[in-house]
Amino acid sequence: MTHGVIGTGSMGRILVEAWIRSGKLQPSELLLSNRTRAKAERLADEFPGLRVAADNREVARKSDCFFLCVKPGEFRKVLEEIRDVVREEQIVVSITSPVMVRDLEEWLPAKVAKVIPSITNAVCSGNSLFIPGSRLNREDREQLWDLFSAISRPLLVDEEHTRIASDLACCGPAFLANLMEQMADAAVEETDLPREAAVSLVTRMAQGLGRLLTEGNFTLKSLQERVAVPGGITREGLHLLERDTGTLFHDLFRLTHDKYHEDINKVQQSLFPEMEKKV
């Protein structure tokens, strides 16, 4: 079975590497294309047997299932290029949240799904978000679920929740890394602790925290309660955090959703320029 990847940038590469390193796919089962061909060739050089196609049309023609790993603004160009070689029995997966499944179904005769990966999938961890289209049968769903189970924990998500789920699973690592960096920087500024030590402390702490929450029988709540003994320093710190973070995350999610709706409109105008806004 051939799995195609159109677009071997950051996410396309992560998927290819994770599937091969996890042993889920052999390099010879993957066929790649990328606008800048040299980028796909560099990836292929790392895994003997991995093939680079002449163009996107070859990937679309020769794959049983292929992934569109380009940015939303590139979709129309790619869809125009591959449209007339895509077949009904193929599975086509978009990894991009603002491209609607029903719009892809209008463009392509194939079985369409959206699966949004996360950078955490690079270490076969974290979630992927699974949004199947209307043409996938049970076997198709199981096949995709199985593929993503090798590198992540897939989560079935309604398309209307794609943005918020992506905020948590896909943007979340960057958001938390930013907060951790601010934590380390403040520690250095307040106490002259060497920066290297501060970064190591927050990084190793996060690694342990992840394991406690996933393997250590802790919930977010029970973990806070366990560390914050009554009258202790942590409890006072948690009070300050609750007071000062205020509406921060509400504001953050409103911002991501505003941008998401703008992106959806832009994508729909590019895919259906003749139509009024569809959402």
Ligand X SMILES: NC(=O)c1ccc[n+]([C@@H]2O[C@H](COP(=O)([O-])OP(=O)(O)OC[C@H]3O[C@@H](n4cnc5c(N)ncnc54)[C@H](OP(=O)(O)O)[C@@H]3O)[C@@H](O)[C@H]2O)c1
Which residues of this protein are in contact with ligand X, per CB under 6 A? 6-12, 33-36, 39, 56, 69-72, 74, 77-78, 95-96, 116-119, 170
Q: Which of 232, 93, 249, 240 is nearest to 171 (CA)?
A: 249
Sort 132 into a burial class: Cβ within 10 Å, 0-12 / 13-18 / 19+: buried
Q: Which residue is nearest to ligand X (CB)?
A: 9
Minimum distance from residue 58 beta carbon to ligand X (Å): 12
Minimum distance from residue 139 beta carbon to ligand X (Å): 25
- Residue whose CB is less far from ligand X, 76 or 141: 76
Minimum distance from residue 169 beta carbon to ligand X (Å): 9
HSE of 73, CA atoms in CB hemisphere, 13 A: 1
Q: Backbone phi, then psi, for 21, in 5-degree steps? A: -65, -30
The token pair that represents 111 in the structure block: 């079985």
Residue 178 is assigned to a ligand binding site: no
Local structure of 36: helix, strand or coil: coil
- Residue whose CB is less far from ligand X, 71 or 141: 71
Minimum distance from residue 158 beta carbon to ligand X (Å): 17
* DSSP H helical ranges for 22-131: 37-46, 56-62, 75-82, 101-107
Fill in the amino acid letter for 246.
Answer: G
- Residue whose CB is less far from ligand X, 9 or 27: 9
Residue 126 is assigned to a ligand binding site: no
- Residue whose CB is less far from ligand X, 164 or 188: 164
Minimum distance from residue 175 beta carbon to ligand X (Å): 12
Residue 7 is assigned to a ligand binding site: yes
Residue 9 is assigned to a ligand binding site: yes
Residue 11 is assigned to a ligand binding site: yes
CA distance 75 to 79: 6
- Residue whose CB is less far from ligand X, 34 or 152: 34
The token pair that represents 211 in the structure block: 């394991």
> Residue positions in the annotated binding site?
6-11, 56
> Residue positions in the annotated binding site for NADP(+)?
6-11
